[in-house]
Structure 1
Amino acid sequence: MAINLHIPARDAIFPVAGIRIGTAEAGIRKAGRRDLTVLLLDADTSVAGVFTRNRFRAAPVQVCEAHLAGGQNIRALVINTGNANAGTGASGLQASHDTCQALADALQLQPQQILPFSTGVILEPLPVDRLIAALPAALADVQPDHWFEAAHSIMTTDTQPKIHSQQLDLGGTTVTITGISKGAGMIRPNMATMLGYLATDAGLAPALLQALTRQIADQSFNRITVDGDTSTNDSFIIMATGASGVRIESAQDPRYAPLAQALTDAARDLAQKIVRDAEGATKFMTIQVEQATNTQEALKIAYAIAHSPLVKTAFYASDPNLGRILAAIGYAGVDDLDVSRLTLWLGDVQVATQGGRDPNYREEDGQRIMAQPEILVRVALGRGDVTDTVYTCDFSHDYVSINADYRS
């Protein structure tokens, strides 16, 4: 059950000039569903990406990194679901290269101009022959307005498609931003187990776009967690076609800041939608740590709370067993933390102060907040002026069932 996840109406999903999208049924894992997606990019589109830090990086991740580093003009993306092509060794790398070669041949491009992506079951060979055989159907399906279809095609255990679309005025020119993402389990920063694709018809210099992509990832997809697992295939791509006529070469351009903010907001929305549709989730939780001395300290404490199975199951049960939050704060690794200066709020209810239970706190007030579908947990450390935020969810019986039956 997705938690307050907004899916825009079709007429509110704006095509991005310079990008066409097609989907097809390849039968990668299950028959009768569209599991192959291609995105075709106009020439001179700037493309940047950030990827998982898992040492078992999937074959397509390795190929994407190499192709982006090669400096050639990226002209197409190809995405399959149902099989991660991870833990597949040399044969998996060859499958990714064969995919790129096949799509490049169809488009009269070089294979280094193709970025491949996979998501699904790890440690199983990719049925690359089925993937390649379905490429003509995907190419025959390409249209500028197929973002909605693509959002469905890249889903795995997701129950809802994740889409964001908006337009903004940039120096008198209307600029479009549209993106999709997928992910529901194995969600943790660096990055979350997810695929995210964000596009704009504004133009950005390649080096500027790469720096911005890393910055945006840190403020969005690297601020979500479901279960603390970092996957093998995580990828976040931003594409800037320049088809609107807007071209930004430096961060000093007055149009850069509003565009960067809009892209960050779009990525944050796509990231939060992953948590809202997390496997078995019934509560969306915002963990905000304030008055920290630095970002690292704030995130240590936020993630300790967000990853705690005891905290997450208490929230699922709407049980205000809030000592579990204090325990998580205490073992987060901030060794010189003075707990006597700490304050804890649950929504608008002050739970703890000066390291102990607030004298005015009543358990029925805590239970009232925990029964809500969206919950804010605020922790003030009394140490500095840094604030950071992590988004997470509860653990339910369904989380266990979904992951126990994942390959069924």
Structure 2
Amino acid sequence: MADWQEITGGITAPKGYRAAGITAGLKPSGLPDLALIVSDVEAIAAGVFTTSQVKAACVDYCRQRLQAKQSARAILCNAGQANAATGSQGIKDAEESADLLAKELNISPESILLASTGVIGRRIKMDALRNGIPKLVASLTDAGSDAAAGAIITTDLVTKSIALETTIGDRPVRIGGIAKGSGMIHPNMATMLAFVTCDAAVSPHLWQQMLTRAADRSFNSITVDGDTSTNDSLLALANGQSRTPAITEVGAESEKLEAMLTAVCQHLAKAIARDGEGATCLIEVQVTGAHDEQAARQIAKTIAGSSLVKSAIFGRDPNWGRIAAAAGRAGVPFEQENLQIQLGNFLLLDNGQPLPFDRAAASAYLKQAATGAYLQQDTVLISVNVGNGHGTGKAWGCDLSYDYVKINAEYTT
């Protein structure tokens, strides 16, 4: 049983945080497009970013900030323009964004982290941003999580938010998070943004290690379409306002906090995969029997990312051969005679041997998942065992529908 409980409040559930989201005129749709998260005090900061060689200005900016100073007070996010592949002017725009916000908040620009999302190759609409920042700061509230969550999305159909609470040192400790992402999603980060707040006191080194491991077990284990973005950013703040003793070394308290951080990240990651562009269901792949966790996750990610597997699930076709083929090309050695594949409660392959199964019932299982979209009952579970090893891993994805092509064919038009 989890050693925490879900609470309301999102990123403003932890003590000492305010947030806001407004319409600044960055999106042509007129929808909210500028978000801000602020800690009342300087917070320990950590980040995980895209592995793409083509990176947005905000990614380079944040990496440099976190290398120089592992703390921050604020996260500013604009939606509408990715500010990626925008050359030296894009970098200047990012720096000006931080300077403008710093003056409005009366803090140092070095305490500000940035994120952007939208169309690659387009600079931030700086006139709209300059006019919007005073309004944004004026809108800050300790109940502003939903507004911020709504201002960071692009093609998302739903906002993504979570907050959990546990007890450390007889005091409540909370972690909250919001995220965006729907397309251009693939392991090693994706076109996704995620912001996490925590009110525990943690050493910078431990907080970064926790976040990196949590990312591997969540955002780096989801895929929608196999495309890694230029802007992927996971930023996490820990401000110590819970007044619990500082966690400075690995132990029971650090493990408890990391488990809750991972749960927050996994909730947000699954919400992104569930909201995949054109998706009708969430796919969860569980792999056991590998030689270690990394190998198990690699197999799971390959299966979840297979276009053939995803297409079969959209067509409600229990074609286990595609699952076997994806597992086999994952780059992880295993003996074929040990392979076991299960779809929901249907055992399809055992010890490398095909088994008779009720194809109509298995297809009905896939159809049932499609009708449960956004009701947390929309998960297609694929279980794969590859041997007797101790490694286990999970990955999440979604089916591949006709609408995915339509959405992306018309993205900039």
**Is the TM-score greater than 0.5?**
yes
Match status 1:175 vs 2:180 = no
Q: Which of the residues 196, 199, 203 maps onto 1:205?
A: 203
Map of 2:56 onto structure 1 = 58
User: Cα distance 1:86–1:11, how it changes in 2: closer, same or farther (>3 A)?
Assistant: closer
Q: Deviations over 1:27-85 (max 9, x none)?
A: 11325322011122222311111111111011000001111111164121110001100
Map of 2:3 onto structure 1 = none
Match status 1:352 vs 2:349 = yes
Query: CA-atom RMSD, angstroms?
Result: 1.9
**How far 1:257 sits from its partner (Å)?**
2.1
**How far 1:392 sits from its partner (Å)?**
0.8
Kept in 1, the 8 Å contact 2:18–2:140? The answer is yes
- Amino acid in the other structure paired with 2:140: V
- Amino acid in the other structure paired with 1:163: S
5+ residue gaps, structure 1, are: 1-7
Q: For 1:171 and 1:237, how far apart are their aligned partners in 2?
A: 26
4+ residue runs of structure 1 moved beyond 4 angstroms? 8-14
Task: Kindly tell me the number of residue pairs found equivalent between the two proteins.
Answer: 399
SS in 2 for 1:75: strand
**How far 1:116 sits from its partner (Å)?**
1.2
Map of 2:372 onto structure 1 = none
Q: For 2:322 and 2:250, how far apart are their aligned partners in 1?
A: 46
Identical-residue share of aligned pairs (%): 38
**How far 1:287 sits from its partner (Å)?**
0.8
Task: Judge which range, 377-386 or 193-202, deviates more.
Answer: 377-386
Map of 1:5 onto structure 2 = none
- Spell out the pairing of 1:276-315 with structure 2 (5 A cutoff): 276-315=274-313
Map of 1:45 onto structure 2 = 43
- Spell out the pairing of 1:10-49 with structure 2 (5 A cutoff): 15-49=13-47
Q: Which of the residues 113, 116, 141 maps onto 1:115?
A: 113
Q: Deviations over 1:111-152 (max 9, x none)?
A: 222111100100122212221221000011011110011111
**How far 1:203 sits from its partner (Å)?**
1.4
User: Cα distance 1:214–1:300, how it changes in 2: closer, same or farther (>3 A)?
Assistant: closer
**How far 1:308 sits from its partner (Å)?**
1.6
Kept in 1, the 8 Å contact 2:287–2:392? The answer is yes
User: Cα distance 1:364–1:124, how it changes in 2: closer, same or farther (>3 A)?
Assistant: same
Map of 2:77 onto structure 1 = 79
**How far 1:12 sits from its partner (Å)?**
8.2
User: Cα distance 1:298–1:255, how it changes in 2: closer, same or farther (>3 A)?
Assistant: closer
**How far 1:13 sits from its partner (Å)?**
7.8
Task: Judge which range, 17-26 or 235-244, deviates more.
Answer: 17-26
User: Cα distance 1:385–1:392, how it changes in 2: closer, same or farther (>3 A)?
Assistant: same
Map of 1:3 onto structure 2 = none
Q: For 2:93 and 2:323, how far apart are their aligned partners in 1?
A: 46
- Spell out the pairing of 1:231-246 with structure 2 (5 A cutoff): 231-246=229-244
- Spell out the pairing of 1:8-407 with structure 2 (5 A cutoff): 15-71=13-69, 73-252=71-250, 254-334=252-332, 336-358=333-355, 360-373=356-369, 374-407=379-412
**How far 1:241 sits from its partner (Å)?**
1.2
Q: Deviations over 1:291-321 (max 9, x none)?
A: 1123343233222221221111110111122
Q: For 1:318 and 1:40, how far apart are their aligned partners in 2?
A: 45
Kept in 1, the 8 Å contact 2:10–2:145? The answer is no
User: Cα distance 1:10–1:247, how it changes in 2: closer, same or farther (>3 A)?
Assistant: closer
Q: For 2:385 and 2:139, how far apart are their aligned partners in 1?
A: 52
Kept in 1, the 8 Å contact 2:156–2:275? The answer is yes
**How far 1:14 sits from its partner (Å)?**
5.7
Q: For 2:7 and 2:129, how far apart are their aligned partners in 1?
A: 30
Task: Please give the TM-score of this superposition, normalised by the length of structure 2.
Answer: 0.92
User: Cα distance 1:319–1:407, how it changes in 2: closer, same or farther (>3 A)?
Assistant: same
Q: For 1:321 and 1:139, how far apart are their aligned partners in 2?
A: 53
- Amino acid in the other structure paired with 2:401: S
Q: For 1:300 and 1:169, how far apart are their aligned partners in 2?
A: 34
